[in-house]
Amino acid sequence: MMERKLKEVASPAAKATETVDPWAVVGSRLAGRGKEVLEAARVQYPNETEIIVKQLAAMITAKLLEEPLSGELLFTLFRRLGLAVRLETKIVYSEHGKVKSLAEKLMDERRSSEGSA
């Protein structure tokens, strides 16, 4: 009789942990470029990322991981696990309050030098 009561008490708790979406748990903790890094990892390493997200969600729900998950932190985590997540990078240049890509800046300089020659 005692075993049955313990199973009844334990089963709602077990069901509650099974129904929690690990992606939602981890998503609620993402900060900065965390979403970008996680999505890039999901596309490049879907199986490994699924396992990592489940582990991160378990750590978050167990209150073992309370800090926000920034892009830098996730990037470092994946690198330490041997997964080189490739991100799209862009170099920008700010001039007179306008932000331009480096390619645009070089094109503008090229045009101005051709016009004066």
Query: What is the model's pLDDT at position 55?
Result: 93
Can you give the residue ranges of every domain in the chain? Answer: 2-80, 87-117
Q: Among 44, 51, 64, 62, which Cα is nearest to 23's?
A: 51
In the block, which residue shows the tokens 């489940």? 54
Q: Which residues pair with 98 in a beta bridge?
A: 95
**CA distances (Å), origin 87, targets 1, 9, 32, 43:** 57, 46, 14, 11
- Give CA 100 to chain center in angstroms: 26
117 versus 93: the higher-pLDDT residue is: 93
Digit-coded pLDDT (tens) for 48-97: 999 999 999 999 999 998 899 999 999 999 999 999 999 888 778 787 88
Query: What is the model's pLDDT at position 90?
Result: 79
